[in-house]
Chain A
Amino acid sequence: MSLSTAAPIIETAGLCQSYGDVQVLHEVSLEVSPGATGLLGPNGSGKSTLLRTILGLIPVRVGSARVLGHDSASEQLAIRRRIGLVPESDCLIPGMNAVEMTTYAGQLVGMSRTDAIERAHEVLYYVGLGEARYRELEGYSQGMKQRLKLAQALVHDPDLLLLDEPTNGMDPPGREAMLELIRDVSQTKGVSVLLSTHLLPDVEQTCDRVVVLKEGRVVQTRAVERELLEAGRIFDLRGRGDFESLAASLAGQGHEAEAIRDGLRVTLARGHEIEVIFEALRQHGERVQVRHLIEAGRSLQDTFIEAIS
């Protein structure tokens, strides 16, 4: 499944992964192009395994995976040089402060100490830890730890950023700030992002495209905006009268109308606006009395639930 016409940064073909007898990924074939992509799926769907395979942490035995033009089976180090990972768990080294930790991360990639220190200060300011950068990590809140993990992943200026549940355990303002950072990195700084999460709003807010995984299989691969456009606008009408006739009239014009309690749910065909409903109501005159009209919308959540159910 291809996500865009741009040259893909991640390509997998028939990728299978298993832990012992438990098969986690089943013939995953996918192409991810530059930009922000969400990797969405319920717990245990294989998201983290796919990320680890991309990084070369788990050897590829069946199928193939290429990341940024490098083979995941034989060029893991070249891949990791160009990737930044924000792991799900805390994984911080105690006894350090944020500057030391980020500098150390840069040196592990191969940056000189001078470059790593300079860059550590830059990215720590960028992620909002400028004032707290000399504090011991043990005193950091969960939100600060998540920001620090982002900083250590960005220190060597990767081409691709892999984020594994980056908003876990964060309070709403912290979560918003983190999502804003992710959006900024991908949209204005030219760093591609692969965001693995089970939180749909995170993907909706930050990603252009989404890959939905279920039980180790890719069940949907779509652009987030196109998803919403294709679904069209949805309205719930409630009241009294001949809703059957109204439904038939709207269906005759190419729209979907299904009966709900005391009314109708109308899904307008792509490109149509609410005036279509007003016109149909005018035609029905007093035969239909609408007391409640609200746009129900069709979020990614509907399609996600539909895809994994």
Chain B
Amino acid sequence: MPIYDQGYRRWDGEIQPAPWRWWPITRQGVLQFLPQRKYLLLLGISWVVMLFRGAQLFTYLRGREVTQRLSEALGGAISFEAGPGFYWNAIDKQMLWVVLFTIMVGADLIASDRRNKALQLYFSKPITPNDYVFGKLGVIAAFQLIALWVPAMLLWLFGLMLEPTGAYLREIWSVPIAITLWSAVVMAVTGMLMLAMSAIGQRSVFISVSWIIFFGWGPFQLVILLLREFTGSQYWGLVSLHESIGQLGHWLFGLDPPWEFHPALSLLMLVAAVGICYGVVRWRIKPVEVVL
């Protein structure tokens, strides 16, 4: 019977190149959440919503005469169309899932490492602070990718399959670009904001509430609308990250923006927000905590 040496042996394997140092952090984070039943269930539900959108698209494209007549009968109160506006509407409604997954996945990402003093474990390895930040951001981005980008792209492909004509392709050719750019903006803004909150706070509840406030979502949308009504200024839309993302989304999908100012201002606001959040994260993640 062979005897296997279970003692310590030297290892002379290969260390992988530096550009992928963030990947194990993302991978570990995704694998920590993804196998859990609640995440799988929620991801499934987020796709069911998109399936309804697919059914809607099927009705529009395969029953154009019927839907057109219905629209006329309703006096144009409801418009049936399968252009970029439809896709924007579909992806915009997925924001609910973006918010949900960002909070569920992101709230504890850095806070947990800080609570458990695990930062020095990361930084005793050949990991830079940027690797750490992008690795953690990748965890949030992965869930948003599954709930936002993938179903939206599949919806677009489905639309093209239903109406494989040059006219329809000319109408919606820019939609995948808009979906990709908008998803990237959403991931950067919501993800970095969540990392900043997670780097500041300790408790998930505090982090989640702070994130919702700073993002300007839910009841805070109403606050912005009220401020616009009372002051008559359109620029309140810039205060809310959620409104700025919406403004930019309309522009990317070639639609009329809801606010009167130029979407470039929204983009500037979002870039500044991401920059500030990144600064906060870098300031808060220190391998060595010194108490004087």
Contacts from A to B (Cβ < 8 Å): 19-20, 22, 52, 55, 57-58, 76-78, 80-81, 83-85, 87, 89-95, 104-105, 107-112, 115, 119, 122-123, 125-126, 130, 152-154, 156-157, 184-185, 189-190
In the complex, residue of chain A having the shortest beta-carbon distance to the beta carbon of B135: A108
From the candidates B10, B120, B123, name the one contacting A89 in the complex (CB within 8 A): B120
Residues of B within 8 Å of A58, CB to CB, are 288
Residues of B within 8 Å of A95, CB to CB, are 32
Confirm or deny: B290 has a beta carbon within 8 angstroms of a beta carbon on chain A: yes
B124 with A93: CB separation less than 8 A: no
B116 with A93: CB separation less than 8 A: yes
In the complex, residue of chain A having the shortest beta-carbon distance to the beta carbon of B11: A157
The interface size of chain B toward A, counting residues with CB under 8 Å, comes to 38
Assembled-state Cα–Cα distance A55/B11 (Å): 21
Partner-binding segment picked from B14-22, B45-53, B91-99: B14-22
From the candidates B14, B113, B117, name the one contacting A90 in the complex (CB within 8 A): B117
A104 with B24: CB separation less than 8 A: yes
With contact pairs A57-B288, A94-B112 given, residues A108 and B10 touching in the complex (Cβ less than 8 Å): no
Partner-binding segment picked from B1-9, B62-70, B224-232: B1-9
With contact pairs A81-B15, A111-B16, A112-B16 given, residues A105 and B8 touching in the complex (Cβ less than 8 Å): no
B120 with A93: CB separation less than 8 A: no
Q: From DSSP, what is the main secondary structure of chain B's interface residues?
A: loop
Encoded as 1 (CB less than 8 Å from any A CB) or 0, chain B from 257 to 292 comes to 000000000000000000000000000000110101
A87 with B124: CB separation less than 8 A: yes
A89 with B117: CB separation less than 8 A: yes
With contact pairs A57-B123, A105-B125 given, residues A22 and B292 touching in the complex (Cβ less than 8 Å): yes
Assembled-state Cα–Cα distance A1/B263 (Å): 65
A126 with B124: CB separation less than 8 A: no
Instruction: List 13 contacting pairs A-B, 8 Å CB cutoff, sorted by A.
Output: A58-B288, A77-B126, A80-B125, A81-B15, A94-B116, A105-B121, A108-B127, A110-B15, A111-B16, A115-B11, A115-B13, A126-B8, A189-B10
Assembled-state Cα–Cα distance A119/B13 (Å): 10
Residues of B within 8 Å of A157, CB to CB, are 10-12
Confirm or deny: B122 has a beta carbon within 8 angstroms of a beta carbon on chain A: yes
Residues of A within 8 Å of B112, CB to CB, are 93-94
How far apart are A246's CB and chain B's nearest CB, in angstroms?
A: 53
Residues of A within 8 Å of B9, CB to CB, are 122
